A and B are shown apart, each in its own frame.
Chain A
Amino acid sequence: MRNAFTRTFVYRNPSVLWFLAALGLFTLGVTVLSEGFGIGVISTSFVKTLGKTLCLCLIAIAMDVVWGYCGILSLGHFAFFGIGGYAIGMWLMYARTEGIVVTSLAAQSIPPTPQEISDAIGNQIFGVVGSSEFPLIWAFADSLALQLAMVVLVPGLLALVFGWLAFRSRVTGVYLSILTQAMTLALSLYLFQNDSGLRGNNGLSGLQNIPGFDDVPQSTISIVFFLGSALALALGYALFAWVVSGKMGSVVKAIRDDEARVRFLGYHVESYKLFIFTLTAVVSGIAGALYYPQAGIINPAEIAPIASIYLAVWVAIGGRGRLYGAVIGAAFVSLLSSWFTGGGAPDIDLGIYVIRWTDWWLVLLGFSFVAVTLFFPKGIGGLFDYLVRKQ
């Protein structure tokens, strides 16, 4: 029995257990302190912020696997995150609007026909962009199961096709980064158009209202999504830790360090990159699908290239090539970012000039990024290595 355990990847990667234990404690603590299930010390909006942060941690570990372990600096992973968000958002918006429309039409003396209901829903959703027709991509919006499948399938297929084209042409390094950035920019610009079928720059809104649970208060819903995000992060962490341990991890890291050499060992490098790229895209989609119901709104600005660049900054500051580093980086920087830009940080009065953090936060972040890259290439996560070695 002991032997069976020592052969598992968790035994070889004790940090997985540590991480899961810490995440479990954190989740328990937040739940107990929340308004929904506990004593109400933590506000519902802060629970949502924490839940969203967990989703960002999930996409950050995906980014760490694709960049820190496999060496592909993707600057487009937020596109997959956004697609996941849109996919779940379509169902949330459709089902909720349907509920409202059916209730209001029920007051009429003549029962409405299905066509009337459909038209009314279309009017409600697409009125803002001057249309009432359902675009083709909304064909499955009435089905939660199908839209959940889209959360996984659309990012997966996009990554598969994009990756296949890019990797088989042996596009690497900075050229690949530019290509991935172009992908997310193109998607963002397309979605900004009113006739894209996803409400242009209005995006999808009201996503915090879960159809069928209208009577459940947001304080409860927020905790449910918080716990769901924590579970997804735990599963994602364990999955990625397994993928990058053992022989797969060896080959993937070898590809990062010298892909030509790996080819001469007989490995088909492109298949490995495609596998990692697609797997991380799918996880990013799932992270997005959990994030946006907590954010309440998604619009095309969310998948602008800057979001994916932030993602790379989080992972770099947290520490590439170690999963807990990505989690620390994403949590630390995104929470700090909302503290600084949300007016939480006190302005500094220099007499002649007042430093307002809402303006200066980006400058501070930029300096931190440069400092980390120059002086602590292993990031915050590298501190753990240092402490472990000291013992």
Chain B
Amino acid sequence: MTLLEVSGVSVSFDGFRAINNLSIQIGEPELRAVIGPNGAGKTTFMDIITGKTRPDEGRVLWGEKNISLLGLSESQIAMEGIGRKFQKPTVFEDQTVRENLAMSLKNPRGPLAVLLHRKTAEGAARIEEIAEEIGLTEHLARRAGVLSHGQKQWLEIGMLLAQDPRLLLVDEPAAGMTTAEREHTTDLLRRAAQTRAVVVVEHDMEFVRRLDCKVTVLHEGSVLAEGSLDHVTSDQTVIDVYLGRKDA
């Protein structure tokens, strides 16, 4: 089933076409990797889906009812079930790991509901469960600011899981990670993709290979090729623009 349908989307910044007639469909569940050279429009693509950037033309449809995401604010889109992890780990460093996760749990988001919110046993159990999943059980009471870079990345993935989104957008999750950390991250994402849609934007081909999923190659703001990693890497145009001409 198609969960997200992006069709014919274009966006320009000061005359520069960051996204050019881009069309992508994401199913549910699905694990998808989006690759492409710098400036291919990977991050802008995520900005459009999450409401940070408004496209000049095109449609972004969501869910069974084909709701257009273009009229919704960032927070409304998040409430529709789209979670996003940024390239740079952005967790709330002043607060504990537990507080970070508690804030992300799927609960009413209005000021009044939050003001009168009381901790529940289910909430606490869910936090434990997620902490276990991301390997931060020991660190729940610590400030997020003192975590290592890799741990912050996992905490942010944990915050996404706590939101219980239907679609997870993950921007370069493996950046700056050690090999062992990368393996853990791959496992996390693949497990998450069993029940929901996960889109991973990544530079690192080795990481994408480990994800073992359908790959979309972006170039100059549109889709260049789509298919298995072996399929796209054997495509001559992909080799030319992304991997560089071997014979050159």
Contact = CB atoms under 8 A, between A and B. Distances in A.
A271 B78 CA distance: 16
Nearest to B99: A250
A40 interface: no
A383 B103 CA distance: 30
Contacts of A251: 103, 114
B83 interface: yes
B110 A271 contact: yes
Provide the main secondary structure of the chain A interface. helix
B78 A266 contact: yes
B50 interface: yes
Contact of A243 (B104, B115, B163): B115
B75 A266 contact: yes
Contacts of B163: 265-266
Contacts of A265: 75, 78, 103-104, 159, 163
B83 A264 contact: yes
Contacts of A268: 73, 75, 109-110
Interface string A237-280: 00000010011101101100110110111111101100100000
Interface string B161-175: 001000000000000
Contacts of B117: 246-248
Contacts of B94: 253, 257
Interface residues of B, number: 29
User: Counting chain A CB atoms within 10 Å of each CB, which of B86, B92, B118 scores highest?
Assistant: B92
B195 interface: no
Contacts of A261: 86, 90, 92
B111 interface: yes
A247 B114 contact: yes
User: Counting chain B CB atoms within 10 Å of each CB, which of A7, A266, A269 scores highest?
Assistant: A266
A287 B176 CA distance: 51
A7 B163 CA distance: 25
A264 to B, nearest CB: 5
B196 to A, nearest CB: 16
A263 B21 CA distance: 27
B74 interface: yes
User: Counting chain B CB atoms within 10 Å of each CB, which of A247, A258, A260 scores highest?
Assistant: A247
Interface string B62-99: 00000000000111001100011010001011110001
A258 B94 CA distance: 11
B114 A257 contact: no
A248 B115 contact: yes
B14 to A, nearest CB: 20
The 10 closest A-B pairs by CB, nearest first: A266-B78, A263-B74, A247-B117, A266-B79, A275-B111, A268-B75, A248-B115, A254-B92, A261-B90, A250-B99
30 contacts: A243-B115, A246-B117, A247-B102, A247-B103, A247-B117, A248-B111, A248-B117, A250-B102, A251-B114, A253-B92, A254-B92, A254-B95, A257-B93, A258-B90, A261-B90, A263-B74, A264-B50, A264-B84, A265-B78, A265-B104, A265-B163, A266-B75, A266-B109, A266-B163, A267-B75, A267-B109, A268-B73, A268-B110, A269-B75, A275-B111
